[in-house]
Amino acid sequence: DTGVSQNPRHKITKRGQNVTFRCDPISEHNRLYWYRQTLGQGPEFLTYFQNEAQLEKSRLLSDRFSAERPKGSFSTLEIQRTEQGDSAMYLCASSGLDTDTQYFGPGTRLTVL
Amino acid sequence: GDSVTQMEGPVTLSEEAFLTINCTYTATGYPSLFWYVQYPGEGLQLLLKATKADDKGSNKGFEATYRKETTSFHLEKGSVQVSDSAVYFCALSDPNSGYSTLTFGKGTMLLVSP
- pLDDT tens-digit series, residues B10-63: 999 999 999 999 999 999 878 999 999 999 888 899 999 999 999 999 999 999
Q: Provide the 8-state DSSP code for A46.
A: E
Span A18-61, pLDDT tens digits: 999 999 999 989 999 999 999 889 999 999 999 999 998 888 88
Q: Which residue of B has its CA nearest to A55?
A: B100
DSSP code per residue over A51-104 = TTEEEEE-TTS-TTEEEE-TTSS-EEEEESS--GGG-EEEEEEEE-TT----EE
Between positions 36 and 65 of B, the ones with CB within 8 A of A are 36, 42-46, 49, 51
Is residue B70 packed enough to be buried (19+ CB in 10 Å), middle (13-18) or exposed (0-12)? Answer: exposed
Residue B93 forms contact with A (CB below 8 Å): yes
User: Does residue B68 carry a pLDDT above 90?
Assistant: yes
B77, B19 Cβ separation under 8 angstroms = yes
Q: Would you state the pLDDT for residue A1?
A: 55
> At a CB cut-off of 8 Å and minimum separation 6, what does A84 contact?
A15, A112, A113
Q: Do A102 and B89 touch (CB under 8 A)?
A: no
Is B32 in the A-facing interface, judged by CB distances under 8 Å?
Answer: yes
95-114 in B: which are within 8 Å (CB) of A? 95, 97, 99-107
Q: How far is A7 from chain B (nearest CA, A)?
A: 13
Q: Do A42 and B106 touch (CB under 8 A)?
A: yes
Contact A22, A7 (CB under 8 A): yes
Continuous segment of H or E residues that includes residue B92: strand B86-93
Rounded distance, CA A108 to CA A36, Å? 10
Q: Is A57 on the interface with B (CB under 8 A)?
A: no
- Say what the pLDDT of residue B99 is: 66
The verdict on A107 touching B (C-beta cutoff 8 Å) is yes
| Cβ separation B43–A91 shorter than 8 A | yes
Is A35 part of the contact surface with chain B (CB cutoff 8 Å)? yes
